Structure 1
Amino acid sequence: MNEKKLYQYAFGLALFTIVYNVLEAVFALYFGAEDESLSLFGFGIDSLIEVISGLGIAHMVIRIRQNPGSNRDNFERTALRITGISFYLFTAGLILSAIVTFVEGHKPETTFWGIVISLISIAFMWALIWGKTYVGKRLHSEAILADAACSRTCVYMSLVLLASSGIYALTQWPFIDGVGALGLAVFSFTEGRECFEKAKSNQLCGCGCSCKD
């Protein structure tokens, strides 16, 4: 595969990530509301925020294709700041919602779709990580490789959803849905903080992972 096709592949992966997150958000928000599952509904909101991040990544691929040695531009920095603010607001919303859930003893109708969506997400995210790592290595692009590393945070959040949904399905413990939401909040806060850090620097990747200078 020549360099031109590799960049096309990288851009295709970025677009696929955006489309996948939109679809994931639609299903997670719908079933999260339908089943009254806070962790699944929160997972859907996270997917919407990842769409904003994905737009910045797609733009990054175009930039490094045109100028491999260039630094992050204003579009990417703006996308990072918007993503960071969204993650902070999301974190606050998750914490407040979890507190209400604990106080009221609310429990979801079912967590079946939480299990299904989290398993699908894990499979797709690992496939994307493999694809981005493949093209990043062949292009010797630290930016694309860093983006692949960032995608692991999505896997971790999917595992949190899987764990909380699975435990509830087995035990019917009412508080586990709120615990899962708080687990998502931890990763959300970390991603938000790192988005702002990256927006201030010329580090290579987006948010949610350690990057090289």
Structure 2
Amino acid sequence: MPMSLGPSPARRDALAKRIRLLVAATITYNVIEAILAISAGALASSTALIGFGLDSVIEVSSAAAVAWQFAARDHAVREAREHRTLRIIAVSFFALAAYVTLDAVRALTGTGEAEPSIPGVVIAALSLAIMPFLSAAQRRAGRELGSASAVADSKQTLLCTYLSAVLLAGLLLNASLGWSWADPIAALVIAAVAMKEGRDAWQGKGCCAPPVATAAASAAEPEACACGAGCDCCD
């Protein structure tokens, strides 16, 4: 099976610009989310909400690393920054997994149960509605461009969606049924996923740099995945 051609230089520039815009939107949203979630968590004495807010801070660091990479206008410079950006994203994943695990253990031992919070429910619901679209858009652009760092950051944004669902379920179940254990159990599963994604990012797994395509080939398949054989960014 022949290897698919990557995007043309013009298409690469357009994709890089799209990723910069998506990353900027992600950073802006997460900064606001972090402030609101930590504030609501402090008012409700909810470790789950505070943890969710701190997760947003970690996501900002990951997105900022990608923003730094794609701030370079030259494709060669962006490629050179790829490895360092992946390491930053990996550390962000590990930090997220560590905090979520600690928070889950505290909740299970009865020292950090999620408290009912209407603002928390609203924040979690908004994230659950918004984050999947940001993640999918960045993942598509990253896959076509062949950028492992952009794809890895999109996975962290997607992980925020899972955390939002866990937080929302935990707050609602705790408020209605008193099931305070539901949140930390699901959080431990998410922590395991975060560890895997962090390991993959640290090892550089993901997208491979695609070959340059002709303008005609790029125009014929503008949304085609640019990864070659042995790459898993199109999985």
Unaligned runs of 5+ in 1: none
Q: Deviation at 1:48?
A: 1.0
Q: 1:40 to 1:189 in 2, by over 3 A?
A: farther
1-side partners of 2:42 and 2:176: how far apart? 21
2-side partners of 1:133 and 1:95: how far apart? 26
1:99 corresponds to:
105
1:26 corresponds to:
35
2-side partners of 1:136 and 1:81: how far apart? 17
SS in 2 for 1:104: coil
Q: Deviation at 1:120?
A: 0.9
2:121 corresponds to:
115
Whether the 8 Å contact between 1:81 and 1:196 is mirrored in structure 2 is yes
Q: Deviation at 1:159?
A: 1.9
Q: How many residues align?
A: 201
Whether the 8 Å contact between 1:115 and 1:165 is mirrored in structure 2 is yes
Q: Deviation at 1:133?
A: 6.2
Whether the 8 Å contact between 1:72 and 1:204 is mirrored in structure 2 is no
Kindly report the root-mean-square deviation, in angstroms, between the aligned alpha carbons of the 2 structures. 3.5
Unaligned runs of 5+ in 2: 1-9, 210-231
2-side partners of 1:179 and 1:60: how far apart? 36
Identical pairs, percent: 30
Q: 1:184 to 1:42 in 2, by over 3 A?
A: farther
Partner amino acid, structure 2, of 1:35: A
TM-score (norm 2): 0.67
Q: Does 1:160 align with 2:166?
A: yes
1:146 corresponds to:
151
2:44 corresponds to which of 35, 43, 46: 35
Q: 1:22 to 1:76 in 2, by over 3 A?
A: farther
Whether the 8 Å contact between 2:37 and 2:49 is mirrored in structure 1 is yes
1:188 corresponds to:
194
SS in 2 for 1:107: coil
Aligned 1:125-140 pairs, distance under 5 A: 125-129=131-135, 131-132=137-138, 140=144
Q: 1:81 to 1:118 in 2, by over 3 A?
A: same
- CA deviations over 1:129-159 (Å, ceiling 9, x no partner): 454467669xx52339836852433322222
SS in 2 for 1:109: coil
Higher mean Cα deviation, 163-172 or 140-149?
Answer: 140-149
Whether the 8 Å contact between 1:146 and 1:211 is mirrored in structure 2 is yes
2-side partners of 1:81 and 1:185: how far apart? 18
2:86 corresponds to:
80
